[in-house]
């Protein structure tokens, strides 16, 4: 195996590890979004008069969770493993 083939194989493995890392990093925000909207639905069922405040807090929490997912997407590119 030549040095170029070894380098290409190494790049493939590193790319696959980055994909696995992002998949694992996306679990946390996915769970967080589910908790936010599940509890928001319960809160709206219990106090429908507070719908505006509850919805605003849901949107804020959703934005923070999605920011974590985007950070997880960018980190493999910021800190390469090779």
First to last CA, the chain: 20
Q: Cβ(28)–Cβ(68) under 8 Å?
A: yes
pLDDT for 56 equals 95
pLDDT for 29 equals 86
Instruction: Give the residue with greater pLDDT, 72 vs 1.
Output: 72
pLDDT for 9 equals 62
Report the sign of the C-alpha dihedral through residues 65, 69, 30, 66, in that order: positive
pLDDT at 80 over 70: no
pLDDT at 50 over 90: yes
pLDDT for 53 equals 95
pLDDT for 19 equals 73
């Amino acid at each position: 195996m030549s040095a170029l083939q070894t380098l290409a194989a190494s790049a493939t493995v590193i790319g696959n590890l980055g994909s696995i890392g992002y998949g694992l990093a996306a679990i946390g925000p996915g769970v967080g979004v589910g908790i936010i909207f599940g509890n928001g639905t319960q809160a709206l069922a219990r106090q429908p008069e507070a719908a505006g405040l509850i919805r605003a807090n849901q949107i804020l929490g959703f934005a923070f969770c999605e920011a974590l997912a985007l950070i997880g997407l960018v980190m493999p590119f910021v800190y390469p493993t090779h």
